[in-house]
Structure 1
Amino acid sequence: MRAIVIYATCEGQTERIAKRCADVMRRAGVATDTYDVTRNDVAELAVESFDAVMLGSSLHYAEHDPRIAWCIREHRQQLASIPTAFFSVSLGIISEHAKDRAEAEWLADEFLHDQSFNPTRRACFAGALRYSKYGWLKKRLMRWIAEKSGSKTVTTQDYEYTDWNAVNAFATDFTALLIGNTTERLQSTLAS
């Protein structure tokens, strides 16, 4: 069983989540690679080499990364035939306003719907405010968004909101599905 976690990251939190998922899967015995589409050519990605695929994208300005959308469209047939997972990373998921949380969930669902992609597992995780990595304009914009949603607004500090227990649980659940599928395939092969 070989798996890959394909992700798109801006300031690094989606990468941290992707690598945590891959680590959980590896520790459970599933050989897992990671692939950052923001640093590597998506056209070189050989999805057909893997038995399972997890995809993750940050959500910025109500949009998921178009390179993740491209991966889904380009490998639609392969993804439909293997176990898949998708996670979205945004600050909206931890807003003190229910409307913002619902919108973050809806945007993830809408992205998947637009790609005609129905992953086996799906999750939304909170990201981080990396004020130290933002330029002047983005820092002001993110401060305004944070203030509106009830998050931290001191721009001289960074804030991490990711629920690592939820990330571990998501990766563990997906891994259990993979190991179960492998066990079923082995039992089927032995029975023939």
Structure 2
Amino acid sequence: MTKKIAILYASVDGQTLKISNTLGSQLQKSHHSVDLFPVGAFDGDVKAYDLFVIGASIRYGVHDKRIIDFINTQKTQLDSVKTAFFSVNLVARKPEKNAPDTNPYVIKFFKTIDWNPTLVTVFAGKLDYKKYPFFDRIMIQFIMWMTKGPTNKNAEIEYTDWKKVEEFGEQLNGL
């Protein structure tokens, strides 16, 4: 059955967009109609979609405020359709923190909002120090040092498990 699917995303460094594009392509191959929106660009009706997917990255321990505002503003509409949420963060590079019920950012996120999507997952992001502005690089290096991650200023490591992204796409396809 062909579905109309929206993917709304907030991406700081591009990895959440890359994941959103991958999911969109996968769903289109299953003959679904997919609309991709950066946060702030969606001005349609959530209820016009069979499935509404929201993806957000973490920066300094929080998801993009615009995603939170969107969810709070559109809660009634989101509750009337099937929904999914995915978080992209570097903490998820650790096996013990790569599930919705073990990832501290996802746990904190759902404690601060009143929304229960149909499906939730978390993906590890990408670390690319050369891409970050000076202040962000220093802060992320400090956070990585505290969490025993790589701190080499030339490090570029994609932690995203693309098989897990594909499996999430299959789950979305089945909703």
- For the criterion TM > 0.5, the same-fold answer is yes
Share of identical aligned residues, percent? 29
Give the conservation status (yes or no) of the 8 Å contact 1:92–1:104: no
Give the conservation status (yes or no) of the 8 Å contact 2:15–2:126: yes
TM-score (normalised: structure 1): 0.81
Give the conservation status (yes or no) of the 8 Å contact 1:95–1:101: no
Give unmatched runs, 5+ long, in structure 2.
none
Give unmatched runs, 5+ long, in structure 1.
178-192
What CA distance in whole angstroms lies between the structure 1 residues aligned with 2:55 and 2:77?
Answer: 17
Aligned residue for 2:91? 92
RMSD: 2.2
Give, in angstroms, the shift of residue 91 of structure 1.
Answer: 0.6
Tell me which of 159, 162, 168 is aligned to 1:161.
159
Q: Mark the CA change 1:149 to 1:176 in structure 2 (over 3 Å): closer, same or farther.
A: same
Give, in angstroms, the shift of residue 115 of structure 1.
Answer: 1.9
TM-score (normalised: structure 2): 0.88
Give, in angstroms, the shift of residue 107 of structure 1.
Answer: 2.4
**Deviation readout 1:128-183 (Å, 9 max, x if unpaired):** 11212211121112122223323322212421100000011011111112xxxxxx
What CA distance in whole angstroms lies between the structure 2 residues aligned with 1:171 and 1:112?
Answer: 22
Aligned residue for 2:115? 117
1:18 aligns to 2:43 (yes or no): no
Q: Mark the CA change 1:131 to 1:108 in structure 2 (over 3 Å): closer, same or farther.
A: same
Matches within 5 A, 1:29-108: 29-37=31-39, 40-42=40-42, 44-95=43-94, 98=96, 105-108=103-106
What CA distance in whole angstroms lies between the structure 2 residues aligned with 1:107 and 1:60?
Answer: 10
Larger radius of gyration: 1
User: How many residues matched?
Assistant: 173
What CA distance in whole angstroms lies between the structure 1 residues aligned with 2:99 and 2:151?
Answer: 19
What CA distance in whole angstroms lies between the structure 2 residues aligned with 1:107 and 1:170?
Answer: 19
| 2:89 counterpart letter in structure 1 | S
Q: Mark the CA change 1:102 to 1:111 in structure 2 (over 3 Å): closer, same or farther.
A: closer
Give the conservation status (yes or no) of the 8 Å contact 1:92–1:101: no
Runs ≥4 residues deviating over 3 A = 98-104
What CA distance in whole angstroms lies between the structure 2 residues aligned with 1:41 and 1:35?
Answer: 6
When you count helix as a share of all residues, which structure comes out higher? 1
What CA distance in whole angstroms lies between the structure 1 residues aligned with 2:157 and 2:58?
Answer: 17
